[in-house]
Amino acid sequence: MNQAPFVMLHLGLGSFHRAHQAVYLHALQQTGDLGWALEGGHLRDDMPDVIEALRHQGGAYMLETVAPDGQVRYERITSIRRVYPFEPSLSGLIEAAAQPNTRIISFTVTEAGYYLDARNELDFSFPDLSADVAAAQQQRPGGTIYGALTAMLRERMRRGSGPVTLLNCDNLRHNGDRSRSGLLQFIDRLGDAALRAWVETHTTSPNAMVDRITPRPTDAVRQRVLAATGVDDPAALMGEQFIQWVIEDRFAAGRPAWEAVGVEMVDSVAPYEEAKIRLLNATHSCIAWAGTLRGYDYIHEGTRDAAIRQMAFAYATDDAIPVLSPSPLDLANYRDTVLDRFANAAIRDTNQRVAMDGFSKIPGFIAPTVRERLARGESIDSVAMLPALFLAFLQRWRRGALPYDYQDQAMDPSVAAAVCDADDPVSALAALPVLWGAQAGDARLVAALRQASARVAAFINQAS
Ligand SMILES: NC(=O)c1ccc[n+]([C@@H]2O[C@H](COP(=O)([O-])OP(=O)(O)OC[C@H]3O[C@@H](n4cnc5c(N)ncnc54)[C@H](O)[C@@H]3O)[C@@H](O)[C@H]2O)c1
Ligand SMILES: OC[C@@H](O)C(O)[C@H](O)CO
């Protein structure tokens, strides 16, 4: 077993963690720097086969990476030295988090795993979150990131194990600041002043921008890995060749020398995360919703459809780039690179994966552009196409006419159904504070969404 002195404990060993953070640490270890190792596990019992396979393989797994020209490369990733089985008590993970040599607790729990509303307040009406409050009041851990971190940090405080960095690796704007605020609100709800003071003085939460398209692994990946390497790995996965990680250099108790393997350590991640969230993630959702409406299964198919590409291009060019400017990044080049990445047929990323969680992605990825343009008195015609596509998508969901199961943790199905069944679905969608915050019901939003919905209807009719 790797006897590295320091541990980064990761919560959520899903595909992305294994194609990104674990790969950077693996690359660092390959340079001979064995100062850090990964350990991890899940907060939910949702991938038992993958967890079991990883445990069986001592944390190692095969990664296939695909270049823009379709060239593939296979590598065995060995930076995860220990995988904890899922247990509702999270006892293995809590014990690991409380060890003095655990210096970073990182996590990927999806955009919907933070339960923050448009005003950045924790929405305790989510049953998972209220159940975690009740559990934490009885000193039991819970399955949300807040319930889990509270249990871990309480134990760390009790043992005097020293400072630790909380490192968010999800696509969330100001992901460190916002998840920290959520954690403190959760602790305040418990009335645990001692824990709040300890968290404030013993932890940091750097913001980070993470990027690598990592599709849901399929059996085809496992078969390709087997054919190319002779290794039959139930935890095999694939990602694009492109990879980027930009992190604010605010660590409470040290960090791996990531800069040696290409991680960008910066003072502020803001320009990177805004470009990524608005030009990559929002555009990605646009292509997934439009592609589904057009009958495509994969992201590259929609990106290669001239009408869909034009919608995505117009959104980025007319509405997103102007509010992101000035920027230290070449935003037009960033947009073009992103569209080229999406068009890579070898990635075979599904519309189903990217279309999910619209009720988290509209407020996170799209509403800020609407808000900022309205505040400047500027047109929102191009950005309004995205929620208009989502509305048409939602109406298909309501009719049971989507070609796949739509997963949306933040969606209240009764609210979504009421929007679709309303006499005026456009006004009903525009009126939802959960999507638009203070802009909910704004007459300019309603008007732009109505006009965009007419364009979306014409787009759908063109396809049929
Ligand atoms: N896949 C990508 O291309 C990609 C790229 C950049 C960033 N990300 C970020 O990583 C996240 C996960 O993507 P993935 O591809 O690993 O997905 P995945 O489905 O493979 O893994 C999701 C992980 O989140 C956990 N989870 C889900 N909902 C949760 C909740 N409410 N509370 C606690 N844990 C929860 C699951 O247990 C699992 O560990 C994305 O939502 C995104 O924020 C993904
Ligand atoms: O937009 C969907 C995301 O999961 C995306 O694949 C990722 O953010 C790329 O880094």
Q: Which of 408, 430, 429 is nearest to 420 (CA)?
A: 429
Same domain, 221 and 274: no
Same domain, 217 and 276: no
pTM of the model: 0.96
At 331, which CATH number?
1.10.1040.10
Calculate how far, in angstroms, residue 281's C-alpha sits from the geometric centre of ligand 1.
14
Which pairs count as long-range contacts for 332-339, CB under 8 Å and 24+ apart, including other chains?
A: 334/275, 334/279, 335/279, 335/283, 338/279, 338/280, 338/283, 339/283, 339/303, 339/309, 339/312, 339/313
Structural domain contains residue 250: yes
Structural domain contains residue 348: yes
Contact by Cβ (8 Å): 424, 321: no
First vs last C-alpha separation in the chain: 58
Q: Is 22 in the pocket of ligand 2 (CB under 6 A)?
A: no
Tokens representing residue 383 in the block:
């950005």
Q: CA-to-CA distance for 31 and 443, rounded, in angstroms?
A: 58
Same domain, 170 and 243: yes
Same domain, 216 and 297: no
Please identify, by atom number, the ligand 1 atom nearest to the C-alpha of residue 12.
39
Same domain, 255 and 280: no
Q: How distant, in Å, are the alpha carbons of 40, 203, 341 from that of 250? A: 22, 10, 31
Q: CA-to-CA distance for 380 and 87, rounded, in angstroms?
A: 47
Q: Is 283 in the pocket of ligand 2 (CB under 6 A)?
A: no
Tokens representing residue 213 in the block:
């398209």
Give me the pLDDT at residue 464, please. 60
Identify which of 173, 280, 300 to mutate to test ligand 2's pocket (most ligand atoms within 8 A of the CB).
280
Rg (CA), the chain: 22
Q: Is 171 in the pocket of ligand 1 (CB under 6 A)?
A: yes
Q: CA-to-CA distance for 59 and 151, rounded, in angstroms?
A: 24
Q: Could you say which of 266, 295, 321 is where a domain stops? A: 266
Q: Could you say which of 251, 266, 281 is where a domain stops? A: 266
Please identify, by atom number, the ligand 2 atom nearest to the C-alpha of residue 288.
1
Calculate how far, in angstroms, residue 453's C-alpha sits from the geometric centre of ligand 2.
25
Contact by Cβ (8 Å): 381, 448: yes
- Domain containing 437 equals 270-463
Query: Whose Cα sits closest to atom 26 in ligand 1?
Result: 109
Q: Is 222 in the pocket of ligand 2 (CB under 6 A)?
A: no
Tokens representing residue 463 in the block:
């396809």
Q: Where are the alpha helices (DSSP H) in 160-281?
A: 175-190, 193-202, 219-229, 270-275
Same domain, 153 and 30: yes
SS3 8: strand
Give me the pLDDT at residue 463, please. 65
Q: Is 354 in the pocket of ligand 2 (CB under 6 A)?
A: yes
Query: Whose Cα sits closest to atom 31 in ligand 1?
Result: 113
Calculate how far, in angstroms, residue 195's C-alpha sits from the geometric centre of ligand 2.
34
Q: What is the enclosing helix (H) or strand (E) of 7? A: strand 6-11
At 122, which CATH number?
3.40.50.720
Q: Is 243 in the pocket of ligand 2 (CB under 6 A)?
A: no
Please identify, by atom number, the ligand 1 atom nearest to the C-alpha of residue 409.
31
Going by DSSP bridges, is the β-strand pair 72-77/61-66 parallel, antiparallel, or unpaired? antiparallel
Give me the pLDDT at residue 4, please. 74
Same domain, 248 and 359: no
Task: Report ipTM (2 d.p.).
Answer: 0.99
> How many structural domains does the chain have?
2
Calculate how far, in angstroms, residue 378's C-alpha sits from the geometric centre of ligand 1.
35
Q: How distant, in Å, are the alpha carbons of 11, 34, 136, 279, 455 from that of 151? A: 13, 29, 7, 37, 50
Same domain, 17 and 148: yes
Enumerate the β-bridge partners of residue 246.
209, 264
DSSP, res 325? -
Handedness of CA 276, 282, 283, 285 (dihedral sign): positive
Q: Is 301 in the pocket of ligand 2 (CB under 6 A)?
A: no
Q: How distant, in Å, are the alpha carbons of 17, 23, 24, 159, 207 from that of 20? A: 5, 5, 6, 32, 16
Query: What ligand has the least distance to the C-alpha of 341?
Result: 2
Same domain, 155 and 108: yes
DSSP, res 272? H
DSSP, res 84? P
Same domain, 142 and 171: yes
Structural domain contains residue 160: yes
Query: Whose Cα sits closest to atom 6 in ligand 2?
Result: 213
Same domain, 117 and 177: yes
pLDDT per residue rounded down to tens, the chain (464 residues): 567 799 999 999 999 999 999 999 999 999 999 999 999 999 999 999 999 999 999 999 999 999 988 899 999 999 999 999 999 999 999 999 999 999 999 999 999 999 998 889 999 999 999 999 999 999 999 899 999 999 999 999 999 999 999 999 999 999 999 999 999 999 999 999 999 999 999 999 999 999 999 999 999 999 999 999 999 999 999 999 999 999 999 999 999 999 999 999 999 999 999 999 999 999 999 999 999 999 999 999 999 999 999 999 999 999 999 999 999 999 999 999 999 999 999 999 999 999 999 999 999 999 999 999 999 999 999 999 999 999 999 999 999 999 999 999 999 999 999 999 999 999 999 999 999 999 999 999 999 999 999 999 999 998 66
Same domain, 278 and 247: no
Q: CA-to-CA distance for 292 and 417, rounded, in angstroms?
A: 19
Q: Is 453 in the pocket of ligand 1 (CB under 6 A)?
A: no
Structural domain contains residue 1: no
Q: Could you say which of 266, 296, 325 is where a domain stops? A: 266
Give me the pLDDT at residue 2, please. 63
Identify which of 110, 186, 240, 365 to mutate to test ligand 1's pocket (most ligand atoms within 8 A of the CB).
110
Residue type, 199: V
Query: Whose Cα sits closest to atom 39 in ligand 1?
Result: 12
Instruction: Work out the burial of residue 375: count CB atoms within 10 Å of its CB; fewer than 13 is exposed, 13-18 middle, 19 or more buried.
Output: exposed
Q: Is 284 in the pocket of ligand 2 (CB under 6 A)?
A: yes
Q: CA-to-CA distance for 82 and 97, rounded, in angstroms?
A: 13
